[in-house]
Amino acid sequence: MRNNKENFFELIERESVEAEEIADLRHYRTLRNISTYTTFVIISLWLIFITIVVILSGLSILEIDKNVMITLLATTTANVIGLPWAIIKGVFKYEKNDKKE
């Protein structure tokens, strides 16, 4: 009889752990969705702002020094590449299976 009770409690504990793991996965999925959406919005707004600045500079409405424009475009390129890469690398973790047999 004791063995059945132990098996019963082990089964309940295992189901509890599995339920917690499922809850963690759901929370992690929500976090990924929020992170990717926020990153997309930030990058989109930044690119719109930079496009407006470049157009206004090209129409001579806004006078921007050549070095400032180069820096602005370089940092924009770095942000467009770097921010999504950091988000993808941090949130969408990839586990390699490097098991040597």
CB 90 within 8 A of CB 31: no
Q: In this structure, are residues 39 and 85 in contact, taking their beta carbons and an 8 Å threshold?
A: no
pLDDT, residue 55, reads 93
Q: Is 67 helix (H, G, I), strand (E, B) or coil?
A: helix
Instruction: Give 8-22 pLDDT, tens digit per residue.
Output: 667 677 788 888 888
Rounded CA gap, 90 and 25, in Å? 15
Band of pLDDT at residue 101, cut at 50, 70 and 90: very low
The pTM of this model reads: 0.64
pLDDT value at residue 33: 85
Does residue 1 have a pLDDT over 70? Answer: no
CB 51 within 8 A of CB 92: no
Q: What are the residue ranges spanned by the domains of the chain? A: 2-91
